[in-house]
Amino acid sequence: MKWRAFPLHPNTPKEGLTLEQLFAGTPLDIDTMMKSLREKAAELGLPMGNRLKTYNSRLAQELGKWAESKKAGDAFHTAAFKAYFVDGKNIAKLPVLLDLAESARLSREEAKPVILNRTFKKTVDEDWALSRKKGINAVPTFVMKEDKLIGAQSYSTLKKLLISKGVKKSEDRWNNEMPE
């Protein structure tokens, strides 16, 4: 699996926006939308807090690319998901980003210049361009060859996609199966 960065609300300021501010001028019922999101998360066994704000994820995406280069991408992305969706932390802030790096067993001292110098800016820009080219407009989106699954998916649904594309089960790859 390869993680790709996606421009989800890229104009969100560093201090974040309330969900009311984010969706102002739209017919969305935020309470209903969030209730539905929490129900879907529960159905899929994903943790979900009572999120009231959205934050700019750009720097977290750049730091995530660095974490991937250090073979700690999955740990970093899992920590970032929890920080954002469960704990409601502002993942645009330097101290939070450094905590995320440390939680993925990466060096805070090495992470700081990666963030401040925007070392992985170009890599994230390339992912954003690819998402536009492929017509991806929601996250998560799982792409395998010409097929896409949009939104959070159950393990069995993802497994069916892999099998349909000829991915063979191996001891290394699927050894830690999740429950169906």
Report pLDDT for 57. Answer: 95
Residue 16 has pLDDT above 70, yes or no: yes
- Provide the β-strand partners of residue 18: 53
Q: Judging by beta carbons within 10 Å of its beta carbon (0-12, 13-18, 19+), is residue 164 exposed, middle or buried?
A: exposed
Q: Which sequence spans correspond to the domains of the chain?
A: 17-125, 140-180
Q: What is the 8-class DSSP label of residue 13? A: -
DSSP state string for 63-123: HHHHHHHTT-HHHHHHHHHIIIIIS---TTSHHHHHHHHHHTT--HHHHHHHHHTTTTHHH
Report pLDDT for 118. Answer: 98
State pLDDT tens for residues 83-135: 999 999 999 999 999 999 999 999 999 999 999 999 999 999 999 999 889 88
Residue 160 binned pLDDT confidence (cut-offs 50, 70, 90) = confident
Pairwise CA distance, residues 151 & 102, whole Å = 29
Assign domain 17-125 to its CATH superfamily: Glutaredoxin (3.40.30.10)
Tokens of 5: 């960065």
